[in-house]
Amino acid sequence: MDKIIISEMIKKLRESYHLSQDELGEKMNVSGKTIHSWEKGRTEPNMGKVQMLADFFGVSTDTMIYGYKNDDANRMDIIFNDYFPLKYASNLSAGSLDEILESDPDSVVYVPIRFQSIKNHIYAFKVNGTSMNNIIADGSIVIADTDIDKNQIKDGTIVVALVDGLATIKRLYQNSNQITLMPDSTDKSHKPIMIDPTITTVTILGKVIWHMNPDDIFKLY
């Protein structure tokens, strides 16, 4: 069985994002002391928190628990201060469905170098709204990977979805009878968008694999 190294991964990824234990704790809705305990291996996050960590750092839950595999083994040694530019579209709605606006010439975000090998099938968007603010703050830049098997997306995955030409970012839940685009917000006024797939076509533009909040963007400039 693979060795569980989640404590090492939390510390490595936290430091790569230049976050203190208190700052990461705030994003995970736990205390900085809890993050310290996780990193020391004294306690472990439950699977809900593992998923939150994986979503936040843009990795899979398996990577969060067991580390990088095979050809990716050396990725732990990447210097995360290295970034490359990626243009982003704006007005990706975190609320109701809305039109995505094309990139302006100056709409560029610098994303970690680890994504450069897949840059041909990732797209960046600036989020507008608070319906995902438990994970993704209003004004954040997100990266969505379009090179995925859309039929095997797990329930709860954060996706960029297109419905009748209008887009939103939500957690996706689906079965043969209904597709639900679910908010994840401190504001409980945000309601899920429920769609009958026999009537309306929902296109998954991509799975969200990384995001940068407005404070992080400020630190880069």
pLDDT for position 219: 56
- CA 70-73-125 angle, to 5 degrees, is 100
pLDDT for position 189: 92
Distance of CA 41 to the CA centre of its chain: 25
Sheet holding 122-128, edge to edge: 108-112, 83-93, 122-128, 141-145, 202-212, 157-163, 166-174, 179-182, 193-195
Q: Which residues pair with 128 in a beta bridge?
A: 93
From first to last of its 221 residues, the chain has per-residue pLDDT tens of: 467 889 999 998 888 777 889 989 988 999 999 999 999 999 999 998 998 898 888 778 888 888 876 544 444 444 445 678 888 999 999 988 999 988 777 788 888 877 887 888 999 999 999 999 999 999 999 999 998 887 778 899 999 999 988 999 999 999 888 999 999 999 999 999 999 988 998 999 999 999 887 766 655 55
Model pTM? 0.63
pLDDT for position 145: 93
105, with CB counted inside 10 A (0-12, 13-18, 19+), is exposed
pLDDT for position 152: 74
129-182 pLDDT, tens per residue?
999 999 999 999 999 999 888 777 889 999 999 998 899 999 999 988 899 999
pLDDT for position 71: 41
pLDDT for position 80: 44
- Give the C-alpha separation, 78 to 62, whole Å: 19
- The helix or strand, by DSSP H or E, that contains position 34, with its residue range, turns out to be helix 32-40
